[in-house]
Amino acid sequence: MELIVATKNKKKLQEIKIILSGLNLKISSLADCAGKIRIVENGRTFRENAVKKAVKVAAATGKLSLGEDSGLCVDALKGAPGIYSSRFSGRNKSDTQNNIKLLKLLERVPQNKRKAHYVCAVALADKGGLLGVVEGKCFGRIDLVCKGTNGFGYDPLFIIPKHKKTFGQLSERIKHKMSHRYHALKKARKLLEKYIVKQLAS
């Protein structure tokens, strides 16, 4: 059985494959699909965007699809960048530019006021429509400078208090057991397991 992840982000796809490893699924992405599937991310929440991605891809391909939307919410910025995390410094901008903008906005904010959390929403759909949507979060704070080269997005700035290191400094093994994406996909995994069993029995 094939699962199409509604993304062209190679690093995000790899992370999802690692966390969902062990399931009897061939996991591919939009980059592997024939034809162009255009998805407009104009939802007001992570959940709305995740659902839109999953349902659109499932309808276009007729296959089991996973839509994921995630981002960083900073308390001192009233939840920004939020759903605009990937395009915080403008469309087609880089992770580095997004991080630079975030640091500039927080340059006068002391360390004890730099609390933040990552959010990840995951939706599953097949040709019949939406199967379910789940969410995961991970809490931390924003560092004063970028540290580490692992991960992507805001990982070099996102400190995990327990480890006193950023996701950029921590290994994939540690990150994949505590990240927002891990918590959401852990819930999604249960939905997938039930779906696979149901399909095999039909």
How far from each other are the two terminal CA atoms of the chain, in whole angstroms?
A: 14
d(Cα 62, Cα 48) in Å, to the nearest integer? 21
Indicate the range of 14-18, 25-29, 37-41, 59-63 predicted with least confidence.
Answer: 37-41
* Angle, CA 150 vertex, CA 93 and CA 91 arms, to 5°: 10
d(Cα 202, Cα 108) in Å, to the nearest integer? 60
**CATH architecture, domain defined by 2-201:** Alpha-Beta Complex (3.90)
Contact 48, 39 (CB under 8 A): no
SS3 of the chain: helix, strand, coil, percent, to 5: 40, 25, 35
**DSSP class of 32:** G
Does the structure show a pLDDT above 80 at 36?
A: no
Mean pLDDT of 71-82: 98
Mean pLDDT of 192-201: 91
**Could you confirm whether 126 is annotated as catalytic?**
no
Name beta bridge partners: 148: none
- How confident is the model over 121-170, as pLDDT tens digits? 999 999 999 999 999 999 999 999 999 999 999 999 999 999 999 999 99
SS3 call for 65: strand
Q: What is the pLDDT of residue 34?
A: 67
Residue 48: which of 108, 121, 106 has the closest Cα?
Answer: 121
Mean pLDDT of 24-47: 87
- Quick one: 70 exposed, middle or buried, by C-beta within 10 A (0-12, 13-18, 19+)? buried
d(Cα 122, Cα 134) in Å, to the nearest integer? 5
- How confident is the model over 92-115, as pLDDT tens digits? 889 999 999 999 999 999 999 999
Q: What percent of the chain has pLDDT over 70?
A: 99
The position carrying tokens 């796809």 is: 13
Q: What is the pLDDT of residue 40?
A: 82
Highest mean pLDDT among 12-16, 79-83, 174-178: 79-83
Strand pairing category for 64-74 and 2-5:
parallel
Banded pLDDT at 31 (limits 50, 70, 90): confident
pTM over 0.85: yes
In the chain, domain spans: 2-201
d(Cα 167, Cα 156) in Å, to the nearest integer? 6
Q: Which of 32, 69, 143, 155 is catalytic?
A: 69
Does the structure show a pLDDT above 90 at 32?
A: no
CA 28 vs CA 53, 78, 116: distances in Å? 14, 36, 31
Name beta bridge partners: 27: 3
